[in-house]
Structure formats: C-alpha cells, structure tokens
C-alpha cells in the first residue's frame, strides 16, 4: 500500500457485512476510514469498532441512490482530508425470482441500488482522484454477474453491469493513474437478507441455503480485497467456487451454459441445497 501514504479510504455501506469488515481491516493497518452508510446507527457501531482496531474513523451518511449525496461525500472528503486514496462502492442489496414474476418495481429498486449507485460513485469521485494525481476505485459486484445462476436475473444483471463498468474504467482511467478493482464474491454470511425480496418464498430459502453452506467470512473477503488493491488487480474473485465458474465460463461459455441448464433441469442444485425442485 506504499502507493497511498496518506491512508485515506471511503467505503459505502460500511455499517454492516463486507463494508464493516473492510473498514476494520483498513483500521488494523492504521488507515483513516470514512464510514458511510444510509443507516446511522450501524455506521456509529462501525465507527466505534474502527477506533478499537487502531484506525481513525469519520462517519458521513450517504444514500447511494442519490447522486447529489455522493457528490457531497466527495466534496466533504476533499474539505476534511484534502482528498481520498481508495473509494469503495460497496453498498448493495439482493433480490431474486423467476424472470416473468419479478416485479418491475423490484427491477427499478435493485438497478438503482446496485448499479446506478456505482455509476454515481464513480462519477462523483473520478474528478477528485484525477485532480490529486491518482487513486484507486473498488467496485463491489458479485460472482452472480459472472455465473448467471437461474432465478436471480435482477441481481445478476446489476452485478454484470458493475463488472462491465469496472472493466471499461480499468483502461479509461489508466492515463489518470486511477486503479480499478472489481470484487466478485460468491455467498458469505452478512445482513444481505434483511432487505432481500423475491416473489416466491423459494428464492429466499435458496439464498439462505447458499449462505448456510458458505464457510467464508466477511473478514476473509475483506482481506482478499486489500491484497488485490495492493497488487492493483482488476478481478477480485474471492472463493474457489467463484473461480471455477469464472474459469469455465470464460474457457467454454457454450458448454458452461449447457451444463448449467442441465444441472438446473435435473434439480441437482436444489438437491445440493436440500430444497424442493422448482415447479
Ligand atoms: N453477502 C454475500 O454473499 C455477497 C456476495 C456477493 C456480493 N455481495 C455484495 O457485497 C456488498 C455488501 O453487501 P453485504 O453482504 O455486506 O450486505 P449487508 O446488508 O450486510 O451490508 C450492506 C450495507 O449497505 C447499506 N445500504 C443499503 N442501502 C443503502 C443505501 N441506499 N445507501 C447507502 N448504504 C446502503 C446497509 O445499511 C448495509 O449496512 C453488496 O454490494 C452485495 O451485493 C455480497
């Protein structure tokens, strides 16, 4: 992390799960951590924990669905810290369902919260990073944007969008000395199910089963992110199953989707998760 001697990071959705875990990992390294979240209470708790871990916290509330609030966040950091080294667009939510049943309101909600929020974050911070001579952007996507598992269209689409945006920015921001990483974890336990929505209870059950199968923690993922930023790595694929999906899909996309369709038709995924087969 020698690239960033001033040690300043801002993390959206830092009140819980991965956002909090990343805040604490940066705190352990003695960073200034701007804890940003829509939930003031959760942000306060992260602030307390950051101090305990040896970091210097700064709480600034921000609703990532509001572009003007991300612009204010950038302006506030310029005023308080003179800039910021790493910007982590992390806040996000989850939803699932059969394509024809996902409500249009759910599509609007999740596209705004998971994809437009990252667009707003990048737009707000790139001018600041450029003016100060560089920095790094971390966009938190998901392996969902690569694996394209069935019954998760709305979530998959938003995360694939975040991956595409990050890939584009990787080259576009190179002349501006701004690094870009995109994080694509598979399931790990957080509070993500709090705001989860699906038209059928089946998808909630499915998501819970995936979470229960995972032995990876937010801390594991957070440490992986820091290692990747250190190396200025674009793709941050944090778990073995995610690496397998990524590798197979890139190597043999036609076969990947044939096999995925066959597994789904046979209900093997349901069997693995201990669920009744999809109707
Ligand atoms: N947990 C997983 O299995 C998993 C897997 C892949 C990707 N992700 C991604 O990781 C990111 C973090 O999720 P998490 O699992 O830590 O969930 P989480 O629910 O524990 O944390 C999300 C945080 O975002 C905040 N938030 C929600 N709406 C907001 C808004 N409008 N503005 C600002 N903050 C808002 C919440 O208050 C919460 O503190 C998300 O982008 C999620 O899609 C999670």
Q: What is the pLDDT of residues 49-107, one digit of tens each?
A: 999 999 999 999 999 999 999 999 999 999 999 999 999 999 999 999 999 999 999 99
Query: Is 273 domain-assigned?
Result: no
With CA atoms as reference, report the closest residue to 62 among 70, 53, 54.
Answer: 70
Catalytic site residue 155? Answer: yes
Cα 213 to Cα 58: distance, rounded to the nearest angstrom: 35
Query: What's the whole-number mean pLDDT along residues 2-27?
Result: 97
Ligand 1 mean position to 94 CA, how many Å?
8
Residue 278's pLDDT band (cuts 50, 70, 90) = low
Query: Is 1 domain-assigned?
Result: no
Q: Which domain holds residue 143?
A: 8-252
Ligand 1 mean position to 192 CA, how many Å?
6
Tokens representing residue 186 in the block: 């598979």
Q: Whose Cα sits closest to atom 40 in ligand 1? A: 92
Q: What is the pLDDT of residues 201-243, one digit of tens each?
A: 999 999 999 999 999 999 999 999 999 999 999 999 999 999 9
Q: What is the pLDDT of residues 120-154, one digit of tens each?
A: 999 999 999 999 999 999 999 999 999 999 999 99
Q: Is the pLDDT of residue 5 over 70?
A: yes
- Given this model, what pLDDT does residue 233 score? 97
Ligand 1 atom having least distance to the Cα of 192 = 19
Cα 152 to Cα 203: distance, rounded to the nearest angstrom: 8
Query: Is 275 domain-assigned?
Result: no
Query: Is 2 domain-assigned?
Result: no
Tokens representing residue 148 in the block: 């394209």
Q: Report the CATH number that the domain containing residue 71 is assigned in CATH.
A: 3.40.50.720
Cα 121 to Cα 222: distance, rounded to the nearest angstrom: 20
Q: Average model confidence (pLDDT) for the chain?
A: 96
The total domain count for the chain is 1
Instruction: Report which secondary-structure segment, H or E, holds 166.
Output: helix 153-172
Q: Which of 155, 256, 264, 272 is catalytic?
A: 155
Query: What proportion of the chain, given as a percentage, has pLDDT over 70?
Result: 99
Query: Is 99 domain-assigned?
Result: yes
């Amino acid at each position: 992390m020698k690239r960033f001697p001033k040690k300043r990071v801002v993390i959206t959705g830092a009140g819980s799960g991965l956002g909090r875990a990343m805040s604490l990992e940066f705190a352990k390294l003695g960073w200034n951590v701007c804890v940003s979240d829509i939930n003031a209470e959760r942000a306060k708790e992260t602030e307390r924990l950051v101090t305990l871990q040896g970091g210097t916290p700064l709480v600034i509330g921000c609703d990532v669905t509001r572009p003007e609030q991300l612009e204010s966040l950038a302006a506030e950091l310029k005023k308080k810290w003179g800039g910021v080294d790493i910007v982590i667009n992390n806040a996000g939510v989850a939803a699932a369902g059969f394509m024809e049943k996902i409500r249009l309101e759910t599509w609007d909600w999740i596209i705004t919260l998971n994809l437009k929020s990252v667009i707003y974050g990048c737009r707000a911070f790139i001018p600041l990073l450029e003016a100060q001579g560089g920095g790094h952007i971390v966009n938190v996507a998901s392996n969902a944007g690569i694996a394209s598992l069935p019954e998760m269209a709305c979530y998959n689409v938003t995360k694939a969008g975040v991956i595409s945006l990050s890939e584009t920015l990787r080259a576009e921001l190179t002349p501006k000395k701004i690094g870009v990483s995109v994080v694509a974890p598979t399931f790990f336990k957080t509070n993500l199910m709090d705001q989860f929505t699906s038209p059928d209870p089946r998808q909630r059950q499915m998501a819970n089963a995936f979470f229960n199968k995972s032995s990876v923690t937010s801390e594991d993922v957070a440490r992986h992110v820091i290692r990747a930023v250190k190396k200025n790595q674009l793709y941050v694929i944090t778990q073995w199953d995610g690496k397998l999906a990524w590798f197979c899909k890139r190597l043999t996309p036609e076969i990947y989707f044939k096999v995925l369709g066959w597994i789904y038709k046979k209900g093997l995924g349901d069997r693995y998760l201990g669920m009744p087969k999809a109707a």
